[in-house]
Amino acid sequence: MTETGARHDPDGVDVVALGESMVTFLPSRPGRLADVPSFDRAVGGAESNVACALAAAGHAVRWVSRVGADGFGDHLVETIGSYGVDVTSVRRDPERPTGVYFRTAGDRATAAHEVAYYRAGSAASAMAVGNVDLAAVRAGRVLHLSGITAALSGDCLGLLRALTAPRPGRPLVSFDVNHRPGLWTDGDGPRVLRDLARGADLVFVGADEAEEVWGLKDADAVRTALPGPAVLVVKQGERGATVLGRESALHVPAPHVDVVAAVGAGDAFAAGFLSATLRGLPARDRLRHGHLMAAAALTVPGDLAVPPSRGHADRLAALDDRTWGTLRLGPGWTRAAAAPEEVRTP
């Protein structure tokens, strides 16, 4: 593996994403869960979000998971497949249900935000080395994983340990830390997530997340704690993101975004960065494509958004630093015909 891109895959699969997806119920109006009268159904799952965004951006993507042999499982497989994602390696579990969750409309960063998960004992929590098609999992140029899966069960953790272990010819392993405090009830989360991240080739972690989980206050401290990955990406919210290689570091500011809903941005950023990595683009453009894909997610109500066309994103990513700094993206920007239509001073 190198820092410049993923290896060639003769089977033609660019990315394999493994992890749980759940049916998400989005509120029909703002307010407490107790007060919301109805919900709209959608799909939620960090890894499947990345898979759908990459497939929409023109990549060959496979999602590997387990879902229940129920209507919600049908919905997940059909919806994720409709994005062009290969879902043939998703197993159906006749004994365990598909996970679901409900959330409020507010920003996840506020105290008023509520999420009610119904995922304990889900089909995906039963994923294990013995019941997942490992050949299908390892068939892509990139294997994308997250720390959420590791927290679901001991078997899931064993699977992630096997997939991040050194192995000849393994794909480039991408790992998003995705710390979910509510899932780590035994206090082992920080240690487990650090160990898994150290075994990956490419790691995504939020700056606030790194401080919360490991007490690390800046990108350099994260790099010192995670010396193994060839590429480390520290996401810094509105301030942008920093990519750190073995001997280099680069910060790229985020564009100004008129946020509709602060959900799905981290997964979208990972998809944009991975897309640019697969194309062999330089570090600056990888970060800019991550920011642009995140901006697409931030300007729609749900987790998934239609990304800008590749040509549109490439034009924006190629802007000079001054013009990039004046870029402001609002609802509908991905449908604009040309880059100059979005460029205005904030």
Q: Give buried/exposed letters for 319-344 (b at 16+ CB in 10 A, else e).
A: beeeebeebebeeebbeeeebeebbe
Which residues does 222 contact at the CB level (< 8 Å), separation at least 6? 205, 207, 210, 214, 216, 232, 234, 244
- How far apart CA 196 and CA 140 sit, in angstroms, is 20
Q: Tell me if residue 9 is catalytic.
A: no
Which residues does 263 contact at the CB level (< 8 Å), separation at least 6? 108, 297, 302, 303
CB of 194 within 8 A of CB of 227?
no
**Tokens 């990956």 map to which residue?**
200
- Residue 146: strand pairing partners: 176
Which residues does 274 contact at the CB level (< 8 Å), separation at least 6? 15, 50, 54, 142, 144, 174, 202
Catalytic residue among 14, 267, 303, 314: 267
CB of 55 within 8 A of CB of 16?
no
**Tokens 């790229």 map to which residue?**
252
Which 3 state secondary structure label does DSSP give 176? strand
Q: What residues are labeled active site?
A: 267
